[in-house]
Structure 1
Amino acid sequence: MCARIDQNETPRHYALAFRWTAFTDASQAQPLFNVSPGTARPVLHVADGEQRIDDLFWGYRPAWAMDKIPVAANARLEKLNQRYWAPLFAHGRVIVPADGWYEWTGGPKDKQPWHIHLKSRQPLFLAGIASVGPAGEHPAESGFVIITYGAEGSLVDLHSRRPLVFDADSAALWLDPHLSHAQADTLAHEASLQAELFDWYPVDKALGNVRNQGAQLARPVSQQSSPAPVQAGFDFG
C-alpha cells in the first residue's frame, strides 16, 4: 500500500457514519483530498471508556528507536504479534476514517495514481494501531500506522498489498478495549472487506505532489491502458 489517503470529510461526519452518537471531537484537522504520512490526522479510538476523535501523527517510531530505524507509516498484519508492534496491537487499536486510498502503477518515470474506494462510496474504516499519549521529543512517538496485508482479487493489479478495511460493526469491535489480543487477531484476519466491494479509477498525476490539494485530485481522468503494477519505488508496507 502506498502511503496516501483521501480524507475529505469532517471528523464529525466520519463519527456519525460510524454510528457514534455521544463522542468527544478534539480534532482540528481540515478535510483534505491528498493526505500523506508526517501529518496530524483524525482517528477514532476509545480512551477510558470515552469515544474520541483525536488528531494523531501519521507515523510511528518509539523513542528508543530514534536514529536506529525509520518512521513507519504502515504495519504488516502478519507482523503485529512481533515484539515491536504487540503493545500497540493489544492496547492501541484505532480506526482511521477515509473516503479512499491511492496507489500508483507504472514505471518510475510514468507513474499513474489510482483512487480506490467502496462501490457504495461510503466511508472506509481503516484498521490502525497507535501510541496514544503525551507528545514526546518527536511526534512519531505518539503516532499511528495503518495495517496492511496481501492484496487479493483484482486489487493485485494495483499493488501487492492493501489496507485492512472494516465495516462499521467490525470496526467497533476493533476499538473495544475488552477485546482480547487473540480475538483482535482473529477479527483482523477474518473481517476485512473483500476486493469485490471496491472500485477504482485513475486520477490526476498532480496527486504525486503532497502540497497539491482539491477535489479535482480525486476525480477520474482518462486512462488508455490497464494498470500495470509499479516496478520500482518505496514500499510503505
Structure 2
Amino acid sequence: MPGRFFLTRPMSEIAQALNVRCDVDLQPPRKNIQPGQELIVLTAHGLTPMRWGMIPVGRVNARGRPVMETIINARSETVFDKTAFDGVGRAVVPVDGWYEWTGEKRRKTAWRIASANGSPLFFAAITDSWQAPGGLRVDQFAAVTCPPNADLEPIHHRMGVLLDPADIQTWVTGTEDDAKALAQPWPDGLLQIEEASDVDWSGP
C-alpha cells in the first residue's frame, strides 16, 4: 500500500489525461510526497487540493468508540461497511507512482513503482472534511487498498486500488456497488518496479 507518492509530470498533463480543466495552482515536481502533505485529487467537482490523511474527528468504530489514529489508507474489503467511514466521498489520486520498502530496520530497501508504459497511475481514494480549530476546513483523503497482484506480492501484502481511466468516473460518481466492483488488484505485468536509491527522503 502506498507509503509515499511521487509526481513529477506537470499537472496540466494530468488534467489532459483525465479530460478535465486545470484550474489548480501548478506544483513543482515532487519525488517524495508524504502523508500529511497536500496533493491534487479528482472529485466530482474537478481537480482540488486535499490533505493525505483523514483526521477522524467525530468518527467511531463498530463498538461506538472514537477512531483515534489518522487514516492514511483504508481497506477496500471494509471501507464501505465500517461505521468509521459513514458518509465519506470518493476521489481519484493521480500520481506517477509510489514507494514501498522491504527488509529489516536500518537495512530497508526502497522500491519505486510506476506504470510500465510511463502513463500516470490513478489511485482510488475516499474523502472527508475536517473542521479544524478556528473554523478552518481541511479537505482530506485516504487511499483505498486491496490485496497485491503478483508484481507487488514479493514487496508488500497490500497495494493501492488502481483505476483504469475508463473506470474513473464510475469510482467518483457511481453507485457503491459499482465502486466495490472496481476495488481489485491491478492486472499483472503493467507495473515497473526498481530500486529507489536516488531519493532524498527528507526532501520534497
The equivalent of 1:201 in structure 2 is: 194
Does residue 69 in structure 1 map to residue 68 in structure 2? yes
Q: 2:177 aligns with which of 182, 195, 209?
A: 182
Do 2:99 and 2:110's aligned partners in 1 also have CA atoms closer than 8 Å?
Answer: yes
Q: Alpha carbons of 1:2 and 1:103: their partners in 2 closer, same or farther (altered >3 Å)? A: same
CA contact (8 A) 1:11 1:53 kept: no
Note if 1:59 corresponds to 2:34.
Answer: no
Q: How many residue pairs end up in the alignment?
A: 197
Partner of 1:100: 97
Q: In the TM superposition, what whole-angstrom CA distance separates every residue of 1:174-219 from its partner, at most 9, and x where no partner exists?
A: 122xx21112112224xx5313211110011654x3x324xxxxxx
Name the SS of the counterpart of 2:119 in structure 1.
Answer: coil
Aligned to 1:8: 8
Residue 24 (structure 1) shift: 5.2
Give the Å deviation of 1:10: 2.6
Give the Å deviation of 1:136. 2.7
The one-letter code of the counterpart of 1:41 is: L
Moved over 4 A (4+): 65-68, 138-141
Whole-angstrom distance in 1 between the partners of 2:167 and 2:2: 24
> For residues 139 and 93 of structure 1, do their structure 2 counterparts lie closer, same or farther at Cα, with a shift above 3 Å needed?
farther
Distance 1:104 1:134, change over 3 A: closer
- Give the share of equivalent positions with the same residue, in percent: 25
Structure 2: which amino acid aligns with 1:201? E
Normalising by structure 2, we get a TM-score of: 0.86
Give the distance between the partners of 1:159 and 1:123, measured in 2 at CA.
21
CA offsets 1:29-50 (integer angstroms, 9 cap, x no match): 4331110111111101113xxx
CA spacing shift, 1:130–1:112, aligned 2, 3 Å: same
Counterpart of 1:38, as a letter, is: G
Return the match for 2:30 from 13, 29, 32. Answer: 32
Distance 2:189 2:118 in 1: 14
Q: Which one has a larger percent helix, Structure 1 or Structure 2?
A: 1
Query: Do 2:90 and 2:124's aligned partners in 1 also have CA atoms closer than 8 Å?
Result: yes
After superposition, the C-alpha distances for 1:3-39 in whole angstroms (9 at most, x for unaligned) are 101111232221111233xx25234543311101111
Match of 1:125 in 2: 122
SS of match in other structure, 2:35? coil
Code of the aligned partner of 1:151: P
Structure 1 unaligned blocks of 5 or more: 214-237
TM-score, with structure 1 as normaliser: 0.75
Aligned residue for 1:145, secondary structure, equals strand
Asked if the contact 1:46/1:175 (under 8 Å) is kept, the reply is yes
Paired letter, 1:97 = P
Determine the C-alpha separation between the residues in 1 that align with 2:9 and 2:55: 28
The two structures, once aligned, show a CA RMSD in angstroms of 2.4
Match of 1:128, SS? Answer: strand
CA-CA distance at 1:61 after TM superposition: 1.9
Q: What amino acid sits opposite 2:149 in the alignment?
A: E
